[in-house]
Amino acid sequence: MMKHLKFLSVILVLLVSCISGIFINDKVYSRESEYKGEEFINVTVYERINPAIVLVEAQLKDGLSSGTGCIINKSGIILTSSHVVNNASYIEITTSKGEIYPADILPTDGQNKDLAILKIKPNHPLPTIKLGDSSLVKVGQKVLAIGNPFGFNGTLTTGIVSRIDYERNKIQTDAAINPGSSGGPILNASGEVIGISQSIYNPDNNKSNIGIGFAVPANEAKKVVNNYI
């Protein structure tokens, strides 16, 4: 009888542990207790999306151009900013795992929107991002940006939607966007891509971020990538 009670007690403890936490290497971690509120969103969105973000490096006539890309198809289709790869003689992609592949530019009319599609040939399926509905974006909502600013790969910054420029069809944000972040995702709290980082405002010709960045809305990107998803 005592053996049965001990066995039932162990089962009960395991069930409670499963409900309140996560098993990793026989230890129980409660993510809800370890990360709260905004921090929990930041951590979980980053861990889910960053594997689908790549470094884009392009050899141009006058030097090297560097930016960020989003994997939109597991076969190796990547969305980035066209100004990063325009007139490149060679393009190289580095994944979040450090895998390096040469890339080709696929035909698209996205240059008018500062968007380009690249193709690599990986030896395994790749993780992908999901494009959200940018028509639902509201000023004041939380956003997260992932990019490779100044060569610091896989950098996460956070902020809000500061303004929606309906005339120019741009989303403005105070999330830090710097050189090297172009082509990277602007994400909502659910991890959906609502915009593609494009540019920053520098009234004094300083290359650093002053809290005014712009992104191409995801719905514009959908028009470019539809044939490749």
Report d(CA 219, CA 111) in Å as an integer: 15
What does the buried/exposed string (b/e) look like for 121-144 if buried means 16 or more CB atoms within 10 Å of the residue's CB? eeeeebebbbbbebeebeeeebbb
Q: Is 161 helix (H, G, I), strand (E, B) or coil?
A: strand
**3-state helix vs strand vs coil in the chain, percent to 5:** 30, 35, 35
Instruction: State yes or no: is 62 an active-site residue.
Output: no
Report d(CA 89, CA 165) in Å as an integer: 34
Task: From the candidates 114, 174, 197, 199, give the one annotated as an active-site residue.
Answer: 114
Q: Which residues contact 197 (CB under 8 A, 6 or more apart)?
A: 68, 81, 145, 147, 177, 181, 182, 183, 184, 185, 186, 213, 214, 215
Name the strand (E) or helix (H) holding 223.
helix 218-225
Task: From the candidates 65, 81, 96, 182, give the one annotated as an active-site residue.
Answer: 182
Instruction: State yes or no: is 83 an active-site residue.
Output: yes
Q: Which of 163, 148, 126 is nearest to 81 (CA)?
A: 148
> Which residues does residue 78 pair with via DSSP β-bridges, in sequence order?
71, 118
Backbone phi and psi for residue 40, each to the nearest 5 degrees, phi listed first: -65, -40
Task: From the candidates 17, 75, 83, 162, give the one annotated as an active-site residue.
Answer: 83
CA 145, 151, 154, 157 dihedral sign is negative
Active-site annotation, residues? 83, 114, 182
